[in-house]
Amino acid sequence: MSFWVFKSYLTAVGEHGRDEIDDWYKTLPPQAQAKFRTILEQLRDLPQHLWPPTWVKPLSQGQGVFEVRFKVRNVLYRPLGFFGPDRSEFTFLIGAREQGDEFVPRNALQTAVQRKDIVLGERGRAHEFRL
C-alpha cells in the first residue's frame, strides 16, 4: 500500500510547463538515478513518522522545505521539496547537491521556498513524478 504520491514542480501550467525535477533527474548519472528511485520507492510505502532522518531532513531556514538526502560516488544529492499541496503528497521543487555545506545551485533553498508558495497558490504547477 502506498502512503505517498510524489509530485514535481512545473514551470507553467499545462503542456507548456517543464518538469524541473524530471529535467534534473535526467542529468544524474545512472547510479544516482537508481539510488533516488530506490529511496522514493521505499518512502512511498512508509508513513511520514517512519521516514528515516538519514534520508529526509527538514531545513531549519526552509519554511517547511525538506531535503531528501543520498550520496553516490562522493556526491551529496539534495533534492528539495515539501509535504503537500494535498494530503499524502510530497512535491519536489528543485534538484540540488551539497558541496562544502552549501547547496549547488546556491539559491536552491530560496528557489524552493518561492516554488512552494507558487504550488500552494496554483496546484496545477505540480504533477505526479513518475519513477
Q: Distance between CA 103 and CA 95 in Å, rounded?
A: 10
- Could you tell me the residue ranges of all domains in the chain? 5-128
What is the DSSP code (8-state) at residue 127? E
When pLDDT is cut at 50, 70 and 90, the band that residue 17 belongs to is confident
Q: Is 81 exposed, middle or buried (0-12, 13-18, 19+ CB in 10 A)?
A: buried
pLDDT digits (tens, 9 = 90+) for 40-71: 999 999 999 999 999 999 998 879 999 999 99
**Sequence-ordered alpha helix ranges (H) in 1-131:** 20-27, 30-44, 108-121
